[in-house]
A and B are shown apart, each in its own frame.
Chain A
Amino acid sequence: MRNLAAVVLTLGLLAASAVRADEPPPRGWMLNGNGYQAGLDRQTKHGGVASAFLRSGGEGGEFGTLMQMVDATAYRGTRLRLAGYSRAAEVTGWAGFWLRVDGPAGVLAFDNMQSRPIRGTSPWKRDEIVLDVPPEAKALAFGVLLAGRGQVWVDDLRLETVGQDVAVTAPGQSR
């Protein structure tokens, strides 16, 4: 019975993939990773009228991410928090929000929630990443990643400066 439910659900996912494989990523966002799809979902959402989804396609892939990259100038010298809500369905690998601070010669700070991953099927839940942005930071990259198969939805993200009372979730790599 349980197996049948799994089969039905899988078929449903495949059918959905076939129908919506063409949807472009949400405005302002980039999709990276072969075998992954992203778009807006107007039924499953945390707030407002839509969320974004990221899912493996029919054949899946190793890794996909829906991301943005912004100039770090306005955030230099601050402690920065990426917070958002995510929901997961049948994630076989893991998923997580990620935030990376890039400097002139590489990565200055990075956290992708690999130590506290989103797995399997889970309801809407808030997660956050907190990193310091050093003065030499050039760019910020952030988004949601999905390793393996399955689907994640994300919604109501915020990228905001926080005080020193909020602990960083990963140590900086430059010093």
Chain B
Amino acid sequence: MQRRSLSLGLLAASVAVLSPGVLGAQEAPKGWIQAGANPGDYEMAVDPHGGRNGGACAYIKAKTPEARTFGTLMQTVDAAAYKGKRLRLTAWAKSAGVRSWAGLWMRIDGAADPRNGLPAMLGFDNMQNRPIKGTTDWKRYEVVLDVPAEAVSVNFGILLEGAGQAWLDGVAFDVVGPEVAVTQPKPSPLPKQPVNLDFEEH
């Protein structure tokens, strides 16, 4: 029941995002956070009529073609309701002129490491291995991750790196069975040796 009410809360949040806002053009949709390495280089807001069915949707847009690193429109929610479950994030996205890439992403965080204060990353997929590039019409995308018992938070959103624009609509979560494969890519092997210890490589 607790899970259901949280899911409903998430749905409500999604609905709130999709309702036409009284928000200014630069404001994040209600409940969403503008983040990323260079959020100031990106505009993240509501498009009141750009949605998949003519309603509102969210978008992230590089303010200039030279926008640096990435921006993301995201949320963080309590993982309690999803512990031990396989969680699927689905959303509709489209793109225009995305030169580098865009993607839907989800990350499962654990408790902060007492040694360095950083949360343990228990699961992550940002679609970097199946990126949204160029100009694309509305399409449904999925990210599926297992939420371990020690999970603390579920973080998700849409990211854009560099020039272009991406739109986001119809974001939803559901718990799926083992027949649905997780989308998290296999971890890449660690480098064998450290690099650039004298900071001469730029």
Q: Is the CB of B115 within 8 A of A156?
A: no
Query: What CA separation (Å) do A26 and B201 show in the bound complex?
Result: 8
Residues of B within 8 A of A152 (CB): none
Query: What CA separation (Å) do A142 and B12 show in the bound complex?
Result: 43
B30 to chain A, nearest CB (A): 22
Q: Is the CB of B117 within 8 A of A112?
A: no
From the candidates A26, A32, A158, name the one contacting B199 in the complex (CB within 8 A): A26
Known: A32-B118, A65-B116, A110-B115. A156 touches B190 (CB 8 A): no
1/0 per residue A39-67: CB within 8 Å of B? 01000010111111000000000110100
Q: Is the CB of A22 within 8 A of B38?
A: yes
Residues of A within 8 A of B199 (CB): 26, 40, 45, 48, 50-52, 154-155
Is the CB of A70 closer than 8 A to any CB of chain B? Answer: yes
Residues of A within 8 A of B68 (CB): 22
Q: Is the CB of B200 within 8 A of A48?
A: yes
Is the CB of A69 closer than 8 A to any CB of chain B? Answer: yes
Residues of B within 8 A of A84 (CB): 197
Q: Is the CB of A142 within 8 A of B198?
A: no
Is the CB of B196 closer than 8 A to any CB of chain A? Answer: yes
Is the CB of B54 closer than 8 A to any CB of chain A? Answer: no
B163 to chain A, nearest CB (A): 16
Residues of A within 8 A of B201 (CB): 26-28
B interface residues, tally (CB under 8 Å): 23
Known: A51-B199, A155-B198, A155-B199. A63 touches B117 (CB 8 A): yes
Is the CB of B189 closer than 8 A to any CB of chain A? Answer: yes
Known: A32-B118, A33-B117, A63-B117. A27 touches B196 (CB 8 A): yes
Q: Is the CB of A40 within 8 A of B192?
A: no
Query: What CA separation (Å) do A29 and B194 show in the bound complex?
Result: 9
Known: A22-B38, A71-B189, A71-B190. A63 touches B198 (CB 8 A): no
Q: Is the CB of A26 within 8 A of B196?
A: yes
Residues of A within 8 A of B41 (CB): 22
A-contacting residues, B24-61, CB 8 Å: 37-38, 41
B193 to chain A, nearest CB (A): 6
Known: A33-B117, A63-B116. A48 touches B193 (CB 8 A): no
Residues of B within 8 A of A32 (CB): 116, 118
Is the CB of B177 closer than 8 A to any CB of chain A? Answer: no
A-contacting residues, B147-202, CB 8 Å: 189-202
Q: Is the CB of A48 within 8 A of B198?
A: yes
Query: What are the nearest 3 A-B pairs in CB distance?
Result: A28-B195, A157-B197, A63-B117
Question: Chain B residues in contact with chain A, CB under 8 A?
Answer: 37-38, 41, 68-69, 115-118, 189-202
Q: Identify 11 new A-B residue pairs, CB closer than 8 A, beyond the known A48-B200, A50-B202, A70-B194.
A: A22-B41, A27-B201, A28-B201, A47-B198, A52-B199, A69-B190, A69-B191, A70-B192, A98-B116, A112-B115, A159-B194
